[in-house]
C-alpha cells in the first residue's frame, strides 16, 4: 500500500487556512487534520482539571493521560477529549487565551506532533494537515507545503465575522497570538523554506481553493 499524499498548510490565525484545507480535502475525498484544534483540546483538558497554566511540570504529567481524538473527516470536523465532544468549547475565550501557553511547552508539542504523524501515516489516498508548524516540523517531507496568510486587518475582519466579535479587539488578539506563536522557542510559526506563499488578502475563498487544487494537481504532472 502506497503512502498517502501529504499536503502541509501553515499560516497565522485568521488567514483562512482551515477553511481552505477542509474544502480542498473534501473536494479530493481526502482526510483532513486541524492540528491547532489538538492544542486547543489539550488546553481545555488542562483547564478542566484546574491546573494553572504556569505549572508546567504538572501540565506535562497530566497531558500524558489525555485522549485527544480529532476527526479527520472534512465534512464533519470536530474533536473529542476522551468521550467528551469539545468541538465548540475549545473555541471559547478561556481556551483561546490559554492555548499559546500550553502549545509552547516542548513536551506537549512532542506528544501531539507524534500523534499528528501517526494520523497522517494512517490516512487513505491523501491528507491535508493545517497548523503553524506542519511544513517545518510535523511533516517536513510533505509532497506540497503552503503558507497561507493575509494582513492583520483582513484576518481580524474574517475572524470577527466568524465568531461575532469586535474587529478592533480581534485584531489586537490576533497580533498578540502572532507574536506568541512566532517567538516561542519550540516549533515557532514560520514559513518552511520550500513552501509556497499564498497571500489571501485580496483573494476570494473560491480562488484560493482553486489555486491550492491546481498546485496539488501539479504534483503528479
Q: Work out the percent of the chain whose per-residue pLDDT is above 90.
A: 72
CA distance 221 to 173: 42
Q: What is the pLDDT of residue 221?
A: 56
Q: Is residue 221 part of a domain?
A: no
**CATH number of the domain residue 130 falls in:** 3.40.50.300
Strand 84-85 to 79-81 pairing: antiparallel
* Per-residue model confidence as pLDDT tens digits over 21-58: 999 999 999 999 999 999 999 999 999 999 999 999 99
pLDDT of residue 220: 63
Give the residue among 218, 15, 35 at the shortest CA–CA distance from 137.
35
Name the residue range of residue 90's domain: 11-213
Cα dist from 85 to 33, 74, 130, 192, whole Å:
16, 17, 21, 33
In a domain, 1, yes or no: no
151 within domain boundaries: yes
**145 - beta bridge partners?**
8
Q: Is residue 4 part of a domain?
A: no
Q: Is 167 helix (H, G, I), strand (E, B) or coil?
A: helix
β-partners of residue 6 are: 127
Angle between helices 56-63 and 106-121 (to 10 degrees): 20
| Residue 3 counted as domain residue | no
CA–CA distance, 26 with 41 (Å, rounded to integer): 23
Whole-structure pTM value? 0.89
Is residue 74 domain-resident? yes
Examine residue 60 and state whether it is found in any structural domain, yes or no: yes
Nearest to 150 by CA among 109, 192, 178, 126: 178
Question: Distance between CA atoms of 112 and 11, rounded to whole angstroms?
Answer: 18
The total number of structural domains in the chain stands at 1
Mean pLDDT of 9-25: 92
pLDDT digits (tens, 9 = 90+) for 182-210: 777 777 778 899 999 999 999 999 999 99
Instruction: Return the biggest CA–CA distance within the chain.
Output: 52
**218 domain-assigned:** no
Region 88-112: what's the mean pLDDT?
93
Amino acid at each position: 500500500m502506497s503512502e498517502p499524499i501529504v499536503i502541509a498548510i501553515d499560516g497565522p490565525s485568521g488567514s483562512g487556512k482551515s477553511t481552505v484545507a477542509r474544502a480542498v480535502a473534501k473536494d479530493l475525498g481526502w482526510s483532513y487534520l486541524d492540528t491547532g484544534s489538538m492544542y486547543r483540546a489539550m488546553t481545555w483538558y488542562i483547564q478542566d482539571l484546574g491546573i494553572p497554566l504556569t505549572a508546567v511540570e504538572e501540565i506535562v504529567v497530566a497531558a500524558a493521560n489525555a485522549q485527544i481524538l480529532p476527526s479527520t473527516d472534512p465534512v464533519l470536523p470536530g474533536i473529542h477529549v476522551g468521550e467528551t465532544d469539545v468541538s465548540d468549547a475549545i473555541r471559547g475565550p478561556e481556551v483561546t487565551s490559554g492555548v499559546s501557553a500550553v502549545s509552547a511547552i516542548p513536551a506537549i508539542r512532542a506528544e501531539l506532533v507524534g500523534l499528528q504523524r501517526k494520523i497522517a501515516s494512517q490516512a487513505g489516498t491523501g491528507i491535508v494537515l493545517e497548523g503553524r508548524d506542519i511544513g517545518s516540523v510535523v511533516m517536513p517531507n510533505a509532497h506540497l507545503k503552503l503558507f497561507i496568510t493575509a494582513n492583520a486587518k483582513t484576518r481580524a475582519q474574517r475572524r470577527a465575522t466568524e465568531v461575532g466579535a469586535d474587529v478592533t479587539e480581534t485584531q489586537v488578539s490576533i497580533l498578540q497570538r502572532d507574536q506568541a506563536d512566532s517567538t516561542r522557542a519550540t516549533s515557532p510559526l514560520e514559513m518552511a523554506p520550500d513552501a509556497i506563499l499564498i497571500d489571501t488578502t485580496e483573494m476570494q475563498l473560491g480562488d484560493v481553493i482553486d489555486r491550492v487544487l491546481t498546485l496539488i494537481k501539479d504534483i503528479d504532472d
